Structure 1
């Protein structure tokens, strides 16, 4: 008779099987819906996750319900490696996103961001020309600044807006540049503007709607601020998922022990 731990392991893996099907369906949906490279970015990782969960769940179901000790041992080994990798990634995510926060600007409803406030590892990722070219392309494809420009706000409404980190860093010049507001994405440089200003973003800014501040340090900092928030959320979800995997692993170890004990009995018993 299949013992309680074997049945519970089978039930848990049935749940994982459902998650695998959902992940594969999500990957297929992204593949069908995506119209840009940025939208396709998650397609392969989601499909890969679905395939991994599918393989693990099927192995766990077979090992638990069919009492295949060898298959269950391979399943537990793969599950242990997955737990270690997820734990390492979670720690890494918290470490590299520990630094960095927006600066409150007097008289403004939004914050501004500085690249130097973030971890060296993250800074190097966005300072790499190849990486930033892809991010820049995604920002343009996503029409982040165009959506901001479509608000058609007055200067009073704009300065009191709660802008996202990317909108604050990429769609307008830094407040310290003292540019005159014309619209959300059009700013006039003051007469006699000094090109040797301490803030290079003031020189980098352009009213060209395809350029704006996409190459500014503030834009890169805004992207990292957004990335930091996303990674914090992912790391929190990982903790919950890790607890779930550890429970499955513990039940799997009990089922593996049961299988070995059952298989060690003489056939006549």
Structure 2
């Protein structure tokens, strides 16, 4: 009689196999239909995830249901490595996102973001020219600032200053408050004549919709703030997923022992 643990591992891996199919299809779709560099960049990780889930789930399914001990052993080894990697990534995510936060500005509904407030590891990533050019291309193709302009275009200066802007909107689509530019519209500001600025972002600002503050340190800081918020959410989900993986791994170990016990009885 097939043991309960073998049945349960078989069911869980069958569900994982079903899950891998739409993930794989989504990756292939992105490779064919992706219209932006961001979408095309996602295709390889999505396809790799789909293939990985499919292969591992087949190994677990066959190993548990067909009582193939060596295949179940490979499955458990992969699961163990996945648990270790996920645990390490979760700790890493909490450590590098511990630093950094928006700076409240007097009489403003939004916050200002400084690149130096974030972890050195994250700063090095966004300060890499090739990396930032790809990120900048994604932000531009995603119409971040054009949507920002359309949303607040009817605001006068007093109303605009009370808006609750996102980190990316504040960092990339408008100049820093340090610059003291004159407001014309959300993405159009007038620089003072012959003015000198201590903040290099003021010189980097340009009213050209394709430039704005995408070359500013504040834009990189806004991205890191966004990333920090998302990574903390991912880390919490990872903890839940980690507990689930440990439970599945424990059940898999029971199934493996069952297989070995049955094999010994045959001989």
TM-score by length of 1: 0.95
Distance 2:47 2:240 in 1: 21
Distance 1:177 1:147 in 2: 23
Q: Give the corresponding residue for 1:97.
A: 97
Q: Runs of 5+ in structure 1 lacking a partner?
A: none
Secondary structure in 2 aligned to 1:207?
A: coil
TM-score by length of 2: 0.95
Q: Deviations over 1:105-140 (max 9, x none)?
A: 111111110000000000001111111111111111
Aligned residues: 265
Q: Runs of 5+ in structure 2 lacking a partner?
A: none
Q: Give the corresponding residue for 1:153.
A: 154
Answer yes or no: is 1:35 the counterpart of 2:12: no
Bigger Cα displacement from structure 2, 253-262 vs 141-150: 141-150
Q: Deviations over 1:36-55 (max 9, x none)?
A: 11122221111111111111
Distance 2:15 2:163 in 1: 44
Distance 2:238 2:27 in 1: 20
Q: Give the corresponding residue for 2:61.
A: 61
Secondary structure in 2 aligned to 1:265?
A: helix
Answer yes or no: is 1:182 the counterpart of 2:184: yes
Q: Give the corresponding residue for 2:229.
A: 229
Q: Give the corresponding residue for 1:163.
A: 165
Answer yes or no: is 1:127 the counterpart of 2:163: no
RMSD: 1.3
1:190 is displaced (CA, Å) by 2.3
